[in-house]
Structure 1
Amino acid sequence: MRTLLRLVLTPTAIVRLALGWGSFLLLALTPLLAGPPPAALLWMLLGGIVVVITISAFGVVTEAEHLARRLGDPYGTLVLTISIAAIEVILISAVLLGPGEHETIARDSVMAVSMIIMNLVIGIALLLGGMRHDRLKANSTGVSLYLGMLIVLLSVAFALPGLIGEGGAYAPGQAIPLAVLTVGLYTFFLMRQLGAQRADFQEVVDVRAPASGPDLIPEPITALLSQHGAELGARTALLIVMALPIVLLSHDMATLLDDGLSRLGAPVALSGILIALIVFLPETITTIRAALGGELQRVSNLCHGALVSTAGLTIPAVLMIGLITGRPVLLAESPVNLLLLALTVLLTLTTFISRRVTPLHGAAHLFLFVLYGLSVLV
């Protein structure tokens, strides 16, 4: 046990934990956020929170990379994607259950996450990875499975409530079956991804490369758990404990951002994008590293898998919260955002089924994200 603790709970990890949780407790137990702070203090607090979140994010990335190396895909990346997505759902749920009117928080958050992950993060990753590697190629079957799930889940989230709902929200008789069906579909997807169709989410092996070597023969998950179960459990727990301060501090940062943006006269909706960027910072760093290493399928597993988890967990959660509390949950998106989302899915399809992914694909994704940003600012 002592050896395991020294292996996992390194001095660097302890410092990151102390910094993240200490900053959260400092803000929670002191009156710094009791009222609108002066402008200088506001921007100092914002800068400090961003620094702490960034340091914590690198800790999450470190643990995620240890798990990915030990487990292989899709297990390794799935731990990170589900952890971050679950924390995002908890944050959205906390805002919905808190004081104030936040009927559109789920819609705005998931839309921002969708555009950030599928265009900004993937765009940067493909741009940088494509300039380093001439032959980037993903597993087309795995990408098509992700996109199939996203088409269904995002349609249920954003398009269908505007057509069959009441004022952009589902009626109770519609919310219950849709929540059950969404959970069932997402569960079935995970079972297939981790079981019979695991190979569809692994890197494409170059036929010109040697067909031997220990890395090309994945070890069964049961053998991995029996041999390294204690280490895997400890690293997973540490990853979650490191990720929690990121979201908790992001919640505090939301208050400061809303105040700061209102003083600058900027759109308040911009705060949702900035918070989503911070929450998914660990996954962004890991994705860019994967692209630089030529692991395009891991890029898809991280980004598309994170969005599938976010949509698959968020939709049922907010629908149930709306039913329990009696609060309306507005999900229907604007025609502009629906168009941008459709273009994003189409561009993703053409990008990842290509025989060779290039930096131009990344530039196109970044262009779409700029269009989304302009639609928010205008």
Structure 2
Amino acid sequence: MSPRTRRRTPFLRWTGALPVVAVVLLILVWGRSLPAPLVGVVSLFLAGAVLAAVHHAEVIAHRVGEPFGSLVLAVAVTIIEVALIVTLMVDGGEKSAPLARDTVFAAVMITCNGIVGLSLLVAALKRKVAVFNAEGTGAALASVATVAGLSLALPTFTTTTPGPRFSGPQLLFAAIAALALYGLFVATQTFRHRDYFLPVTATGEVIDTEDHAHPPSAGEALASLGLLALALISVVGLAKAVSPTIESGVARAGLPSSVVGVVIALLVLLPETIAAVRAARRDRVQTSLNLGLGSAMASIGLTIPAVALATVWLKGPLVLGLGASHMVLLVLTVVVGTLTVVPGRATLLQGGVHLTLLAAYLVLAVSP
């Protein structure tokens, strides 16, 4: 393949063309009521944009290496997710008071139990035992548990403000703590202790290089970075475009309104889920866990400061405290996650336990 052909490849393949077409479609349908046939078309482009996002994230990850590659996808998805949350809160009024809480908690359950459990299951099916670095994964889990506890559990028990809400100073502290811990987590993952977040072999040897192909050129990586941004924008935007149809379907089925948030969270996190499963199939379990726990940390560490800032101009209360059933699920997730991480090895059982917790969360979302 000639250099010229290689430079044109990202744009000639469907993974290059589809994000552009999806963004154009997003512009055409934004703010409009969609008939059923058009919802089907939008859904197809939504699925295609998810697959394109995964492809371009993997190209970037191959160029920059781990753990930077998984960090790119996690942060990119979360920034756009935060923008979507703030936009919906601005439009939603008082009914959107628990939106940030529901979205962040959904992201925590999907990443810490869904992505982690599915990755362990896939890796264990292939190699009988999934091997990862307990030091790096343990640090990530501890960060997620701390920020989730301070941001989602603590507001339920404070007494300064009635209801599961923070007072102004408490919200400011939670926002600063979340942002500071996220910054410290990123610095630890990428610079101070980068080797803790690299894939390892069954004998404990750190894998610092990919052995299956030559890295893409800098031009290809930059092209994929731009196309990744377009794909993620289209994923979130098209998900919002079809959300009214989802809302009406949920209402007709007599389900709680929180189900809408769960469905949208599943769609938004689908690129990371697919990327994590692909990494697990290549025996890069640590990369999968970096995606799962890193996405959870990014979701809390960026969302809480963003909504705290948004309360300056938003009207109505901001509900962050979890209810009793969700509190139980959060505690179980932290305890089970700790027991999974400590040995640095996991079997089908651990993957099944995490997926069971996710299933319990989904059942309670439908039938609280």
Q: Does TM-score exceed 0.5, indicating one fold?
A: yes
CA distance in 2, matches of 1:130, 1:212: 19
Establish whether residue 160 from structure 1 lines up as the match of residue 154 from structure 2.
Answer: yes
CA distance in 2, matches of 1:358, 1:188: 31
1:272-303 superposed Cα distances (whole Å, 9 cap, x missing partner) = 11111100111111111111111110111010
CA distance in 1, matches of 2:173, 2:354: 35
Secondary structure at the residue paired with 2:33?
helix
**Which amino acid counterpart does residue 351 of structure 2 have in structure 1?**
G
1:315-348 superposed Cα distances (whole Å, 9 cap, x missing partner) = 1111111133353210000011011011011111
Residue 127 of structure 1, CA deviation = 2.0
CA contact (8 A) 2:100 2:320 kept: yes
Residue 263 of structure 1, CA deviation = 1.5
Q: 127-136 or 144-153, which moves further after superposition?
A: 127-136
Where in structure 2 are the equivalents of 1:164-175 lying within 5 Å? 164=158, 166=161, 167-175=163-171
**Residue aligning to 1:371:** 360
CA distance in 2, matches of 1:82, 1:265: 35
CA distance in 1, matches of 2:334, 2:118: 17
**Residue aligning to 1:307:** 296
CA distance in 2, matches of 1:303, 1:240: 19
Establish whether residue 142 from structure 1 lines up as the match of residue 116 from structure 2.
Answer: no
Establish whether residue 192 from structure 1 lines up as the match of residue 192 from structure 2.
Answer: no
CA distance in 1, matches of 2:282, 2:110: 21
The match for 1:97 among 82, 85, 90 is: 90
**Residue aligning to 1:291:** 280
* TM-score, scaled to structure 2: 0.90
Residue 124 of structure 1, CA deviation = 2.4
CA contact (8 A) 1:172 1:323 kept: no
**Which amino acid counterpart does residue 71 of structure 1 have in structure 2?**
V
**Residue aligning to 1:16:** 18
The match for 2:328 among 339, 352, 368 is: 339
**Which amino acid counterpart does residue 254 of structure 1 have in structure 2?**
S
Secondary structure at the residue paired with 1:351?
helix
**Which amino acid counterpart does residue 186 of structure 1 have in structure 2?**
Y
**Residue aligning to 1:176:** 172
**Residue aligning to 1:37:** none
Residue 231 of structure 1, CA deviation = 3.9
CA distance in 1, matches of 2:219, 2:366: 48
Aligned residue pair count: 359
The match for 1:110 among 104, 109, 115 is: 104
Secondary structure at the residue paired with 1:327?
coil
Q: 299-308 or 13-22, which moves further after superposition?
A: 13-22
1:14-63 superposed Cα distances (whole Å, 9 cap, x missing partner) = 4312431232123127x534xxxxxxx44x44433332111111111111
Where in structure 2 are the equivalents of 1:57-136 lying within 5 Å? 57-101=50-94, 102-136=96-130
Give the 3 Å change call, closer, same or farther, for CA 113–45 of structure 1 in structure 2: farther
CA contact (8 A) 2:120 2:351 kept: yes
Secondary structure at the residue paired with 1:323?
coil
CA distance in 2, matches of 1:212, 1:290: 13
1:64-106 superposed Cα distances (whole Å, 9 cap, x missing partner) = 1111112111011110010011111111011111243300000
Q: 361-370 or 331-340, which moves further after superposition?
A: 361-370
**Which amino acid counterpart does residue 15 of structure 2 have in structure 1?**
A
Give the 3 Å change call, closer, same or farther, for CA 184–9 of structure 1 in structure 2: same
Establish whether residue 320 from structure 1 lines up as the match of residue 309 from structure 2.
Answer: yes
**Residue aligning to 2:199:** 203
Give the 3 Å change call, closer, same or farther, for CA 238–351 of structure 1 in structure 2: same
Q: Which runs of 5+ in 2 are unaligned?
A: none
**Which amino acid counterpart does residue 75 of structure 1 have in structure 2?**
F
1:102-136 superposed Cα distances (whole Å, 9 cap, x missing partner) = 00000011111111122223222222221111232
**Residue aligning to 2:33:** 32
CA contact (8 A) 1:103 1:328 kept: yes
**Residue aligning to 1:255:** 244
Q: Which runs of 5+ in 1 are unaligned?
A: 34-40, 217-223
Secondary structure at the residue paired with 1:294?
coil
Residue 375 of structure 1, CA deviation = 1.5
The root-mean-square deviation of aligned C-alpha atoms, in Å, is 2.5
1:239-279 superposed Cα distances (whole Å, 9 cap, x missing partner) = 11111000001111221111111122222221111111100
Identity in percent: 28
**Which amino acid counterpart does residue 290 of structure 1 have in structure 2?**
A
Secondary structure at the residue paired with 1:168?
coil
Give the 3 Å change call, closer, same or farther, for CA 130–315 of structure 1 in structure 2: same
CA distance in 2, matches of 1:297, 1:357: 12
CA distance in 2, matches of 1:192, 1:73: 13
CA contact (8 A) 2:98 2:320 kept: yes
